[in-house]
Structure 1
Amino acid sequence: MKLPGTAHTSRPWRIHEVAPDFRLEDVWALRTPGGPDDLPRLVASMVGDEANSFPEGAPLVVRFLWAARWKIGAVLGLDRPDSGVGSRVRSLRDRLPRDLREAARGPDFKDVPLTSLYLLENEWATEMANRTVHTVMHIGWVPDESGGYRGQMAVLIKTNGRFGAAYMAAIKPFRHWFVYPAFLRSIQRDYAASADAV
């Protein structure tokens, strides 16, 4: 479920001090119920071997859009190594205050170019960059309405000039209507499967 921006901005996340120049693009509630200490299980379910339901398990239209994005990216050179973190942009790890640099970094994704910045007991931040954008995926662990906890995903972006801004505007309907809903369902399925495996 899409949430208002204040669901992210009103919380004292550490990412606010790390990426104040990034714009909040989206905030989504994750149906990943758990206790106060279950963020590591959510993170593991997102990056572990069992985290394989996206895009393979997504509807055909999402798999098509996902494949098309990578083919278009190859043709336009959107994802060349010289356009990523450490090349076109410096990693946000360079901005981390000492306590976050010394905190657990957290795992990286295997098949998605998101690199972990830090992992705390209630938040996890990852980053990626290409020719169009430098982005952060922030996963928070928040109290829910039933007295438990659940995940919350925020996407923060810093577009690369007019081309990046135009590209992000062009793909926004596809992200909101197709890709994000399928991605969120896959997170929720993988998280539920991780509970069943315990």
Structure 2
Amino acid sequence: MRIPKAAHHAQPWRIHEFTHDFRIEDVWSFRAPGAGPRDFPVMLKALKTAYDSRKEPAAVRFLFAVRWKLGALLGWDTPRAGLGGRVASLRDRLPLDLARTANDAAPCTDPFSEVYQLDDEAARELGNGTVHTIMHLGWVPTGDGGYELRMAALVKPNGLFGRLYMAGILPFRYLVIYPALTRQWERAWLDHGRPNRHAAQAMCGGTPGPGARPDQR
């Protein structure tokens, strides 16, 4: 579900310290039924386990195929245009305590690169000839005893062309990409996150307390 951009600023994320020159493009929330305060790493692992571009809806695969084809033809995705070339990695701005956390994170299976990962937030980035994008993921209490995943897309377009590019793909993001992403990520928690969480509790001998919600019993 798309939520106001102010919801991102309202959280005390470390990402705010390093992204003053980025703008917030989108903020979305994703349900994680039965999740607890310590389940953010479980959710991240579930997302990476579930990632498989071949299983995405046909419309999403088509849009990305067109995008990668254009990128190859126009040189948007060459090493010179990406991280370490035209784009300086956000990791170059981090203090040592954050920079070293990326080394402990599970490797990405999608085009993004790790920036840092903490107990309740993580950042990943993608740079090319059109834009430098930060995908920020955070773990937020829902007010009813549960937790949800928040995703904020922070962008720094490459000049006028980059701004026109972002404006041009906006309808496709809202009508195709984000609805598919919502279904995929919420299903990842149900298929890979919650079962692994319960299995870990069982192995540790943990049992829900008397005040646990029904989906935690």
TM > 0.5: yes
After superposition, the C-alpha distances for 1:113-136 in whole angstroms (9 at most, x for unaligned) are: 211111111101001100000010
Gaps of 5+ in 2: 200-217
Matched, 1:191 2:192: no
The one-character-per-residue Cα deviations of 1:126-181 (angstroms, maximum 9, x if unpaired) are 01100000010000000013211110000000000111111111001101110111
Question: Which residue of structure 2 aligns with residue 152 of structure 1?
Answer: 150
Q: CA RMSD in A?
A: 1.5
Distance 2:135 2:87 in 1: 16
Q: Which 4+ stretches in 1 moved above 4 angstroms?
A: none
Q: In the alignment, what sits opposite 2:124?
A: 126
**Conserved 8 A contact 2:136-2:153:** yes
User: Which has the higher mean CA deviation after the structures are superposed, 62-71 or 156-165?
Assistant: 62-71
Q: Deviations over 1:66-122 (max 9, x none)?
A: 211111211111111111111111111110023212435423322x22111111111
Cα pair 1:117 1:126 within 8 Å, conserved:
yes
1:67 partner letter: A
CA positional deviation for 1:31: 1.2
Query: 1:196 Cα shift?
Result: 3.2
| Equivalent residues of 2:100, 2:116 under 8 A apart | no
Q: What is the one-letter code of the residue matched to 1:183?
A: L
Amino acid at match of 1:29: S
Q: Which amino acid aligns with 2:169?
A: I
Percentage identity across paired residues of the two chains: 47
- Give 1 or 2: higher helix fraction: 2
Partner of 2:51: 51
| Aligned match of 1:103 | 101
Is this contact kept in 2: 1:57–1:186, CA < 8 A?
Answer: no
Q: Which amino acid aligns with 1:140?
A: G
Q: Deviations over 1:18-75 (max 9, x none)?
A: 1111100000001123100001011111223x432xx333332222112111112111
**Equivalent position of 2:29 in the other structure:** 29
Match of 2:161 in 1: 163
8 A contact 1:108–1:114 mirrored in 2: no
State the alpha-carbon separation in 2 of the partners of residues 113 and 102 from structure 1.
20
Matched position secondary structure for 2:54: coil
Of 181-190 and 161-170, the range deviating more from structure 2: 181-190
- TM (normalized to structure 1)? 0.92
Q: Helix, strand or coil for the counterpart of 1:42?
A: helix
Change (3 A) 1:114 1:104: closer
1:108–1:19 CA distance, 2 compared to 1 (3 A): farther
Q: Distance in 2 between matches of 1:142 and 1:95?
A: 25
The one-letter code of the counterpart of 2:64 is W
Map of 2:171 onto structure 1: 173
Query: 1-side partners of 2:181 and 2:71: how far apart?
Result: 20
**TM-score with structure 2 length normalisation?**
0.84
In structure 2, which of residues 52, 61, 64 is the aligned counterpart of residue 63 of structure 1? 61
- The 8 Å contact of residues 102 and 114 in structure 2, kept in 1 or not, is answered as no
Amino acid across the alignment from 1:141: W
Report the residue type matching 1:80 in the other structure: T
